[in-house]
Chain A
Amino acid sequence: MITAIGVMDNEQTYREYASELTRYATGLVGPFDAADVVSDACLRAFMSRRWPEVTNRRAYLYKTVLSVANDHHRSTLSRRLREMKSADREATTSPEIDFDVLAAVERLSLQQRSAVLLTYWADLSVDDVAETMGVSTGSVKRHLARARKRLKEWLS
């Protein structure tokens, strides 16, 4: 059944958050698959039975993006990187792709990426990061500590 109920509302919500969700997804799965993850996440959220009752739609969409990214095979980013590195970079990549940064991000688990992004890019408090990720504040702190440890070389 195709329905118009809520579509306009959803479209407005989508236009409001699509850009930041795509940036967030880029941090989670890389620039190659971010758009797909956002599309899937928004569709999943809009089709969710709970969606009409959601009060904090932004947080719900962020959580859904993380959930969809979780489904996304983590090997995808590393595979894409391997493929692009083995190809002619000058000919096949756009100048925006920063391989060093992607290689650094690859060292982090998805949860760690999310905690870093929400803390340092979205400027959320630990409590808000925990709520968005659906984990405890202790877990957020642990993810951040582990991320810092794993990125020790990059940070030095």
Chain B
Amino acid sequence: MSDSADKKLRELAERVVAMSPEPPPYPEEVILTTPSSSNRRRSPALVFAGAAGLVLMIGLVAVFIGMDRGTDPAVSPTTVPITAPTGSTAPVPSTGPSTTVPQATTFETMVFLVTDPENSFLGNPALVPFNTSVLLPGTSPDPDLLGLSALQLLGAPDRTVEPPPGFYNAVPQGVEFYGISRRADGAIVVDVSANFAAGAGGLLADFTMLNQVVYTVTWPDPEATVVFAVDGEVIDVFGSEGLVIGDGVGRTDFLDHLNSIIITAPFILDGDELPMVVGLANVFEATVQMRIIDADTGEVVHQDFTTATCGTGCWGEFGFSLDINGLEEGQLVQVYWGSPEDGSDQDVVTYPVGPSGEPWDFFPNFEE
């Protein structure tokens, strides 16, 4: 910057500061509040713990169903079952004297769910990921299998599972995800039921469904391209409006049909690592706002802003690392941007703070 411009900017800064009023008086009473434990939400992990054993048994049965389906020509051998969270490695019970007893281990996986942001500028939905867990054979599953296991939670045949309040699954009832493989060019091939190609009933719903599915299956490999196939035949045209997807769909292909802010990592309280608020944004001047509020009282616990790597017409990554006290399960994270017109909060994505040290096992449909 030239000396002249520097001098002018210095002059401007000094002139505006010179208009400063007297500082306000010191606030005499500083009220220190502490979080009310009585308002604290019950841990979803605890809520669902009672269901875990029951659903585990169902899951183990599903393991064998899934294995048996491996002989079906329409089903990939890599098909994994829909199963339930547990906290440990468990042997799969034998069904007969000739059956090898494999080890089934609980692994964390990530599911993207859809939410409608508040005060949405474009009216597009947002994606928010949640950590959950699945029981898989073996002790070190292929990363793609983890992605498929997450998809199978979205395409569960019975749909007895319900997303948390405020979130929904854009994958229509009846759509199923059978298996996964890699093509020679590195693309992920997902074997789906034939009704997948019909989409979700409307252009925006189709985009939302595709985005949700692609984000979910690619969480172990976010750069991957995804191709969908029915009985080995790649689906070229998708949905009621005929979206061409035969060349594969990646995470960035349909970004503009999502909210201007999407979240790419769950907010989990973990004693060993700082919780992160991470995502992608295409917002005015790349400025992303974030606050954490108490779900019951609405009290703002923490507030911050950051700058995405790109903005105002382009998508950029953003991240907040929260090294603060007072975070606890049951609080809500809100990410948004400020309108240049009137400063109002725009495209507000709200999602909950996850429990400490455990996957967020909301999927079993358990009611107290």
Partner-B contacts on A (CB < 8 A): 1-3, 5-7, 10-11, 14-15, 18-19, 21-27, 30-31, 34-36, 38-39, 42-44, 46-50, 53, 67, 70-76, 96-98, 101-102, 104-105, 109, 111, 116-117, 119-121, 134-136, 139, 144-145, 147-148, 151, 154-155
Contacts and interface: CB of A to CB of B under 8 A. Distances in A.
Contact of B21 (A22, A49, A148, A154): A22
Nearest to A31: B19
B184 interface: no
A49 B324 contact: yes
B13 A120 contact: yes
B326 interface: yes
A2 B31 contact: yes
Nearest to B320: A134
Interface string B304-344: 11110000000000000000111000000000001011111
Nearest to B11: A120
A139 B306 CA distance: 10
Contact of A43 (B30, B325, B338): B30
Given A101-B15, A109-B340, A136-B307, A47 B31 contact: yes
Given A67-B304, A144-B1, 20 more contacts: A14-B27, A18-B24, A19-B23, A21-B23, A22-B21, A22-B22, A26-B21, A30-B19, A43-B27, A50-B324, A72-B343, A75-B342, A102-B19, A109-B285, A111-B287, A111-B307, A120-B10, A121-B14, A134-B305, A155-B8
Contacts of B17: 23-24, 26-27, 117, 121
Given A47-B33, A49-B324, A26 B19 contact: yes
Interface of B: 1, 4-6, 8-10, 12-24, 26-27, 29-34, 285-287, 289, 302-307, 324-326, 338, 340-344
B168 to A, nearest CB: 30
Given A23-B20, A34-B20, A109-B285, A73 B344 contact: yes
Contacts of B34: 1
- The binding surface of chain A is classed by DSSP as helix
A136 B8 CA distance: 25
A139 B307 contact: yes
B32 A120 contact: no
Contacts, number: 157
A76 B14 CA distance: 21
Nearest to B17: A23
Contacts of A111: 285, 287, 307
A73 B344 CA distance: 7
A77 to B, nearest CB: 10
5 contacts: A22-B22, A30-B19, A48-B302, A101-B19, A109-B287
A18 B12 contact: no
A1 B5 contact: no
Contact of B24 (A26, A39, A72, A121): A39
A19 B325 CA distance: 29
A47 B22 CA distance: 23
Nearest to A68: B303
